[in-house]
Amino acid sequence: MTLLSSDQFPSCHVFKSCLPFLFVALLFQFQTGFSALITSLKNHPGHPQHRRPMFQTNQSTCALFVGTWVRDDSYPLYQYSNCPIIDAEFNCQLYGRPDSDYLKYRWQPLNCVLPRFDGLVFLSKMRGKNVMFVGDSLGRNQWESLICMISASTPKMQTQIIRGDPFSTFRFLEYGLSISFYRAPYLVDIDVVQGTRILKLEGIDENGNAWRMADVLVFNTGHWWTHKGSLQGWDLIASGGKYYKDMDRLVAMEKGLRTWSNWVDTYVDRTRTRVFFQSISPTHYDPSEWGTGATATVTKNCYGETAPMTGTTYPGTYPDQMRVVDEVIREMHVPTYLLDITMLSELRKDGHPSIYSGDLSPTQRANPDRTADCSHWCLPGLPDTWNQLFYTVLFY
């Protein structure tokens, strides 16, 4: 890394008991799949501990994040035409995506059945509360999804939305519930000094002041730590009283996450606020990770993918960032629940906007090899499952 001196910078529901024979059958199924999964993880090169958060369970002992995608024609939970909050970049059906099978899949954990999301239950249990998503555009993806899911249960309820940067909020007025999004792609602060953007790895007070009154906090970060060139969100990094043009990105992310974890441990009142961290959302830009032979050579990214992968594991690489996330969360004092959506999302190569994004021009859509968005997710789509899991952990 390059160092600068200071003067150089400018049915059977989830958690109810079932009949004994059903329990035995499920247990056998889970043990068989779980053993195979453990074997696969042990043999995964270079990442011996990255996947352990997958086996985190809530009080039900259900391994929520280990399972498969199954077809369910009762999905999606809402229609894009009935949810005007969806941003153009996520609104795949509105912008011409021709297939719809990707909307018809439900996440099935190996040893339980998730409760179906009920917006009225969410509203009644969260009456008078403030739920806040904090992070990057993947957090906004999930924020919009949750609003759509709740709104589908209460289509005539009076609501209010205030859009801003970095803070936006959506209110269900009858229930006094606010669901907010605070944009902070690195979680830590960025200061602008004489036109120079400085990423402060030990600074978080400016952002953190906006989070203190939330009853539920859902954090995410990841993608922006890897961006370079025109996509890079900073000009200099500040750490330890010094300024850097660049440094190892995993090292920088860990420093930033430890600043965030210290803020949570210092300022979050565990008696009134619940804290969640959304694990790394995967991308699908390398078809060699999921395809072989002709399939891998025909496409250069997620464009044209219309179905999820089968099975419980993804053959491609697992994000190095998850090791950092795992280590930091393990050392926190305030209970922070890891919503480990990484593996189940890796299986959904079909869920991205690809060229069906309102952010792309017709010329850009004509060149999917260069412009396909294989990072964000369509709405309706995968983030609805993230919120179904969030709902399950929150209430069951």
Q: How many CA atoms lie within 13 A of 31 on its CB side?
A: 6
Reply yes or no on whether 376 is catalytic.
Answer: yes
Reply yes or no on whether 137 is catalytic.
Answer: yes
Q: Which of 50, 223, 284, 376 is catalytic?
A: 376
Core vs surface per residue 270-290: b (16+ CB within 10 A) or e: eeebbbbbbbbbbbbeebebb
User: Measured between alpha carbons, how far apart are the two ends of the chain, in Å?
Assistant: 46
Are the beta carbons of 321 and 222 closer than 8 angstroms? yes
What is the CB neighbour count within 10 angstroms for residue 374?
22
Q: Which of 50, 56, 88, 8 is nearest to 357 (CA)?
A: 88
Q: Do the bridges between strand 67-71 and strand 105-109 make them parallel or antiparallel, or are there none, so unpaired? A: antiparallel
Beta bridge partners of 20: none
> Strand runs (DSSP E) across 64-104, as ranges?
67-71
Are the beta carbons of 134 and 393 closer than 8 angstroms? no
Beta bridge partners of 216: 131, 274
- Read off the DSSP letter of residue 22: H
Q: Which of 50, 137, 340, 350 is catalytic?
A: 137
Q: Which of 136, 326, 373, 384 is catalytic?
A: 373
Q: List, by residue number, the catalytic residues.
A: 137, 373, 376
